[in-house]
Amino acid sequence: MVNDFVINAAILIASFFIIGQLFRKYPLHRTSLLNTQIWIGICYGLQGILLMVYTIRLDALTIMDLRHIPIMIAALQGGLPAALISSFIVALARIGLFGFSFSSVTAASCMLLIGTGCGLLLNRVKPVKLSFPLLNVASLLVISSTIFINRAHAGLSLSTLQSLLLFYWLVALLCGQLAYYLYLYIYRMNTLFFKLQESEQRYRSLIEKSPDATIVHDSNTILFVNGKGLQLLHAASPKEVIGSSLQQFIHPLYHKEPQQQPHERLNKTAETERIEQKYIRLDGVEIDVEVSMSSISYKEQPAFVTTIRDITDRKITEQKLQQAITALQRLSDLDGLTGIANRRSFDSFLDQSWKIAMKKDEPLSLIMFDADEFKAYNDAYGHQGGDDCLRMLASHTEHALAHSNHMVARYGGEEFAVILCNTDLDVAIGIAEQIRSLIEALAIPHSSSKVCNVVTVSIGVATIMPPFYISPRELIERADSALYRAKIEGRNRVKAYDD
């Protein structure tokens, strides 16, 4: 008899797991859809029949098993409809398996009573963890009463029944609690699975509707690609992409740069920062993309999800913007009238050259010159003529000194400056004389000049080995002082600063 009860308990446990798997994709609760409740009732009714097949027969009229437990679990999972259906199936099976008799009818009525009571009360009496064992006791009382009624009706002895019922109660209560905890475990697992499915469906829907290309892949193969990904890779259908290696779409320039491969850093972080790469579409067109990657589980296997954004248009815009900024920067460094460096650019270049000369212990020379009698030139030829004259002076001087270490700048008005890096005084004087002769040779008419009948310039030159205790302003003052001497000594000449 003990073996028979163990078999009943094993059948009970195994069938619970089977039923749990059958309803894995559906929430099992008394508020489930009616269709689900009906199938729950049918399944637990069949479980009750299986338990009756392996029932424990005490005599010709009395049998014992655990068939009431599936009815209680049906009430838990499907409410009143499931409990009534399972109890009705068990009741019919009792009559069908053991014949139509008084004992079969009373046993069948007992199951219907248990099914109705559990269906009405089990989910309404809180908490369920207390109501379940209480209803199990109530069900055992009904079953025990039915056994007493059947034996009394048949005129059988009741003396040996007490010890059997005690053992039956112990087994039924123990199996009832085990069934309840199995129900909780299966219910929670199925609920988690159901929520996981819902979450996966929502995630898949979000991915499909994402404005960015999304590709799921393992270390070698693409497993999933959304519609935006197909569009980005210029694929007509997923078949053209799925099964391929993501590496084949990455530009070869990035294949040998580990720092550009985000999946290589995922062991340390859950998600990589966005990086910029170039991809090659199926039609061979190169595109600029922004890529980020994170690790996920896809179909219960470790995988990566790569989000790709086409930034080709943005890169083109950035390039044009950078070109515009560069052009604007260049214009901001140039004099609007003459097109050579302006005062701002002169100050910056002088400061930079001063630091280099001080660091390398090199001479730095500065030439400052302006047009002689320029006010009289403006009065005679007009401001437009004066502007044209300044342009010619600037243009020819700059062309004569086309050297990367030199700068010609308009210092202000008709005054110009030339910075000569790593140039000593003798060489600077020679260059200054070259400028003076060049401008005079231009033979720009100047009928109002008291110096010459053509435009001439006066030039001051200064050279210094920059010490740490003075500023570039000292060099400017020295060159300006030499220029003043050139003017007061008759103009159209070069004078060097003399300590």
Helices assigned H by DSSP within 401-461: 425-442
Q: In what helix (H) or strand (E) does residue 13 lie, and over which residues does it extend? A: helix 2-22
Tokens of 138: 């109530």
In the 3-class helix/strand/coil scheme, how is 326-354 assigned residue by residue?
Answer: HHHHHHHCECCCCCCECHHHHHHHHHHHH
- DSSP letter for 363, please: -
SS3 489: coil
Pairing mode of beta strands 494-496, 457-464: parallel
- Count of H-run helices and E-run strands, the chain: 12, 12
* Residue 394 near residue 412 (C-beta atoms within 8 A): no
Decide which of 1.10.1760.20, 3.40.50.720, 1.10.10.10, 3.10.20.740 is the CATH code for 2-201.
1.10.1760.20
Q: How far apart are the first and last CA of the chain?
A: 127
> Cα–Cα distance between 234 and 252 in angstroms, integer?
19
* Residue 135 near residue 122 (C-beta atoms within 8 A): yes
Q: Does domain 211-314 have CATH number 3.30.450.20?
A: yes
Helices assigned H by DSSP within 122-266: 128-154, 161-209, 227-233
* Residue 228 near residue 211 (C-beta atoms within 8 A): yes
What are the residue ranges spanned by the domains of the chain?
2-201, 211-314, 333-496
pTM of the model: 0.47
User: Mind giving me the DSSP string for 156-180?
Assistant: ---TTHHHHHHHHHHHHHHHHHHHH
Q: Does domain 333-496 have CATH number 3.30.420.40?
A: no
> Cα–Cα distance between 110 and 62 in angstroms, integer?
14
pLDDT in single tens digits along all 499 residues of the chain: 667 767 777 887 888 788 877 777 666 666 677 888 888 889 989 988 888 887 776 555 566 778 888 999 888 888 889 889 999 999 999 898 888 888 889 989 999 999 999 888 876 777 778 888 888 899 999 988 988 888 888 777 767 677 778 888 888 888 888 888 888 888 788 778 777 777 777 777 777 777 788 888 988 899 988 888 888 999 989 899 999 988 889 888 887 654 445 555 555 445 667 888 899 999 999 999 999 888 888 877 888 888 898 888 888 888 898 888 877 777 788 998 999 999 999 999 999 999 999 999 999 999 999 999 999 999 999 999 999 999 999 999 998 887 768 999 999 999 999 999 999 999 999 999 999 999 999 999 999 999 999 999 999 999 999 887 889 999 999 999 999 999 999 999 999 998 5
> Cα–Cα distance between 442 and 393 in angstroms, integer?
9
* Residue 158 near residue 151 (C-beta atoms within 8 A): yes
